[in-house]
Structure 1
Amino acid sequence: MKTKAYQLVEWQKPPELREVEVREPGPGEVLLKVGGAGACHSDLTLMGIPPGFMPYTLPFTLGHEAAGWVEALGPGVTGFERGQPVLVYGCWGCGRCKPCRMGSENHCERVPELRYHGGGLGRDGSLAHYVLVPSSRLLVPMGSLDPRDWAPLADAALAPYHALKRALPLLVPGSTAVVIGVGGVGQMAVQLLRAVTAARIIAVDMSLEKLARAKELGADETVRSDEHAVGHIRELTRGLGAEVVMDVVGVDSTLKLAAGVARQSGQIQLLGIGGGVLPFHFFGVPLECQVVAPYWGTLPELMEVLALAQAGRLRMTVEHFSLEQLPEAFQRMRGGTLKGRAVITPHG
């Protein structure tokens, strides 16, 4: 079957809409009709990477945030049926090493030899009409949730959830969490913090519209990201700073802000891949403050995020685009004019 897909053909070049061949699923594989494929800032980062930096072999179809309906099952696949809505766990590891056996395919030990991280990251992803998933273990049933609206759970929600889970001992009653950047991922971070912790949440952004949205989604306080932001947050935390700071942007200025508002023995979490640098020296961050770069999330955590969504604890703000409108979605993303997450809906 021939269909269309947006593929990365050359490093540091825009992806191309190409005609590709979709084969029938082999043993253990599942073919999905793509309902929603999230467009992500990391796609923009990936396009700008110089040749030789990543182990991936070109070309491959972009799209690592996927949900859809089961189209066909390969030999030996049980537990799923045609037309069933499913969410795709985006980290595709070997399935056999210790981290993979524990559901942490985001930490697969064989990535260097596999030469990929998942669909859209070295292997064909979901910015297409169909995506071939290598194993049914990577699928999570969605129940009544619509794949066109909830595909971003696979990354935009999973990544901040994985980050906050590692910081749960710090997020006790009376604590403070700061979220820097409340676009699509930051909005999910605010909601997840509200759903699973008792921490006070401070949202930080340049956009007053996004700050207002963060307030609607559960932020206790909002702070404009300007030259007064550090002082304002310090004032809100009685001069002590925040136990956890999530930087969802990751440029020099936001990392400087994160270091300026974290407290002693706190944690700075770098989720954004904006390419910024945090100078690290004895006086560069508060005493005994951890600096971590959480990566994506585990399969059990994705199931927990999905459970929160099914329970009505999360709201997803999305804007839909056709497959042909992907360049427009990326342009809006670069300009910061998206209200939430851009989701490509190849089948309308």
Structure 2
Amino acid sequence: LSGYTQLARKRARLSIDVPGGLQEYLLVQHYRYIVNIDGLEDPQAAAPLACAGLTTYNAVKKIKPYVGSDEHVLVVGLGGLGAYAVQWVKALLPHANLLVADIRDEAIEFVSKLVKIDAAVNPAREDPVKAISEITRGEGVKAVIDLVGLSQTIGTYLKTLTTLGVYAMVGLMSYEATIPVPYIIRNEIKIFGVYTGSLGDQHEVIKHARKGLVNYVKVISKRYRFDEEEVNEAIKSVAGAKHLGRVIIIL
């Protein structure tokens, strides 16, 4: 597992394995896990770069070797992760066509203000497989980044892939899914999981943010104060998917 720090067999994930997700100070086990963010104009807005920004960066890095010039990349789910994913696609795969899918028009509009979207699909109003086939002139997409992870999204968007396409599973909204096995085998589709990113990836994310390759400030749609009322409001907002982009809590 050399280099894959996020997959270490002995790990202590904050708020999952150990408490302390909302505490003011954290004890870091080794100084190498402290990442220098000097040069970032808004340290508060930069916080999600260590989670959503990192995870989506890793996803785009994984699909990059498979995507050729003028091929299509589809990002499914335009919430807090999607707002970063579309930017990484444009930054790391400038030669590719960016397609997006979400059931909320306002989410599509939000990410459209961050980068140029080549085409968008709202599966609440149209058959996404048919729509994507028409957009790609029957070719299908070369890569899907699924930031939702529901059985419905996996079963649906696997069928939008072209031959030798790749499917990056990021979202964790279901425990199991039914997949179109014959389609995957006959087209030699690759499916892989993406779990956050490595320490090396994190340093790369900050480096790219310094260069302006990702607008981490515009992704933040609201900032909450660190008091009981606003923290509870923030959690309810996230649970109800009432916000766009990312929200943060300010100490």
TM-score (norm 2): 0.89
- Whose helix proportion is higher, 1 or 2? 2
Match of 2:82 in 1: 186
Note if contact 2:79-2:245 (Cα within 8 Å) is conserved in structure 1. yes
- Counterpart CA distance in 2 for 1:204 and 1:276 is 21
Identical-residue share of aligned pairs (%)? 27
- By percentage of residues, which structure has more strand? 1
User: Mapping of 1:207-286 within 5 angstroms?
Assistant: 207-218=104-115, 219-226=117-124, 227-275=126-174, 277-280=176-179, 282-285=181-184
**Higher relative contact order (Cα pairs below 8 Å, separated by 6+ residues):** 2
Equivalent residue of 1:120, what SS?
Answer: coil
Task: Check 1:309–1:149 CA distance in 2 against 1; reply closer, same or farther (3 A cut).
Answer: same
CA distance in 2, matches of 1:240, 1:155: 33
**3-state secondary structure, aligned to 1:130:** coil
Match of 1:305 among 205, 208, 213: 205
Say which one has the larger Rg. 1
> Which amino acid in 2 is paired with 1:195?
A
Q: How many residue pairs get matched? A: 241
Given the two structures, how large is their TM-score scaled by the length of structure 1? 0.66
Aligned-pair distance for 1:239? 1.2
Q: Which amino acid aligns with 1:216?
A: K
* Structure 2 SS opposite 1:265: strand
CA distance in 1, matches of 2:118, 2:135: 11
Q: CA deviation at 1:244?
A: 0.6
- Once the two structures are TM-superposed, the CA of residue 200 in structure 1 deviates from its matched residue by 0.6
Tell me the distance in 2 between the aligned counterparts of 1:137 and 1:174: 39
Q: Is the 8 A contact 2:60 2:92 kept in 1?
A: no
Is the contact made by 1:255 and 1:276 (CA closer than 8 Å) also made in structure 2? Answer: no
The aligned counterpart of 2:24 is 129
Per the alignment, do residues 117 and 265 of structure 1 end up closer, same or farther by CA in structure 2, a change over 3 Å counting? farther
Residue 177 of structure 1, CA deviation = 0.6
Give the aligned partner of residue 11 of structure 1: none
Question: 1:130 is matched by which residue type in structure 2?
Answer: Y
What is the identity, as a one-letter code, of the residue corresponding to 1:320? Answer: R
Report if the CA contact (8 A) 1:215-1:222 is conserved: no
Deviations, residues 100-129 of structure 1 (Å, cap 9, x unaligned):
xx3x21121x33xxxx44222312444122
**Offset of residue 284 of structure 1:** 4.9
1:119-198 matched pairs, under 5 angstroms: 119-145=14-40, 146-197=42-93, 198=95
Gaps in structure 1 of 5+ consecutive residues: 1-97
Alpha carbon RMSD of aligned pairs, Å?
1.7
Residue matched to 2:243: 338
CA contact (8 A) 2:63 2:168 kept: no
Deviation at 1:281, TM superposition (A): 5.4
- What is the CA–CA distance in structure 1 between the aligned matches of 2:37 and 2:81, rounded to whole Å? 20
Listed as ranges, the gaps of 5+ residues in structure 2 are none
